[in-house]
Amino acid sequence: MLFENDVVVITGAAKGIGAAAARAFRREGAILALLDVDDSASALARDLGGRSQAIRCDVSRGDDVKQAFANIRQSVGLPRVLVNNAGIQTYGTCADTDEQEWDRTINVNLKSQFLCAKYCIPAMLERGAGVIVNVASVQAFVSQNSVAAYTTSKSAILGLTRSIAVDYAPRIRCVAICPGTVDTPMLRDAIQLSPNPQEVLDECNQMHPVKRIGTPEEVAELIVFLASDKAGFITGQPIRIDGGLGLSIGGSKRG
């Protein structure tokens, strides 16, 4: 087991990539601290067992995060791994995104990763070492229409990742993963906004060169690998897991 009796903290752990990561780390023997505002994280913690616990926490709020990491230290010990996964998808251009929606997107997607790192890093240093995996997006490299706040938040995560990696090497590694479209509840909720959700899902499958979207379990396996000693020479890097999305610029065939 790669993480036997190691404490792993996962944000946005109630469902999607976060829940899949929780199952994958538990398989490897980890003690889990699952942070979410969704109460279904408690049921997941009970199902996983092994001293796993859910902590209700709004990771965009400093007081909540500070208290959560104090609880983790007291109840299960010092973290070896932090997975900054919590995030929301929002839509709008610069002109039509209101300030409140912009702030909410940046706070949940980006500020939360800063806050969790801020309160986790001292515990990791006390432990001796640790790994932080920040969940960004392929939209840190390419962008759709009308996702100004979202793509900005995900792009900035790459800068935060580099800064942590440089500031705390060699004792703490920090990497970012950049998924393409993944079959999560967040995706399903988003496509329901369309008059024809199945058509949107089909388009999502077709726009990836592998002709399908990813699964939360595939992303979780990458997270576990990057957090493990098997990836000990990787730090500060964005790792894309996107089915080849963005490789082609289109255009007509020749010859």
Indicate whether 82 belongs to any domain.
yes
CATH code, domain carrying 121: 3.40.50.720
What average pLDDT does range 181-209 have in this prediction? 88
pLDDT of residue 253: 61
Q: Residue 144 in contact with residue 190, Cβ under 8 Å? A: no
- Strands (E) in the chain, as ranges, are 7-11, 31-36, 53-56, 79-84, 130-135, 172-179, 238-241
Is 150 annotated as catalytic?
yes
Lowest mean pLDDT among 120-134, 193-207, 231-245: 193-207
Assess whether 117 and 187 both reside in one domain.
Answer: no
Assess whether 28 and 112 both reside in one domain.
Answer: yes
Res 234 pLDDT > 80: yes
> Position of tokens 């399908």?
212
Res 255 pLDDT > 60: no
Assess whether 34 and 141 both reside in one domain.
Answer: yes
User: Which pLDDT tens digit goes with each residue over 46-71?
Assistant: 999 999 999 999 999 999 999 999 99
pLDDT of residue 112: 98
Indicate whether 21 belongs to any domain.
yes
Res 254 pLDDT > 70: no
Res 1 pLDDT > 60: yes
Amino acid identity of 229? Answer: D
Q: What number of other Cβ atoms are within 10 A of residue 63's Cβ?
A: 10
Lowest mean pLDDT among 103-107, 181-185, 229-233: 181-185
User: Against a cut of 0.85, is the pTM above it?
Assistant: yes
Indicate whether 1 belongs to any domain.
no
Assess whether 166 and 101 both reside in one domain.
Answer: yes
User: Which pLDDT tens digit goes with each residue over 106-161?
Assistant: 999 999 999 999 999 999 999 999 999 999 999 999 999 999 999 999 999 999 99
What total of structural domains would you count in the chain?
Answer: 2
Domain region containing 196: 181-213
Among candidate residues 91, 119, 150, 168, the one labeled active-site is 150
Q: Residue 17 in contact with residue 38, Cβ under 8 Å? A: no
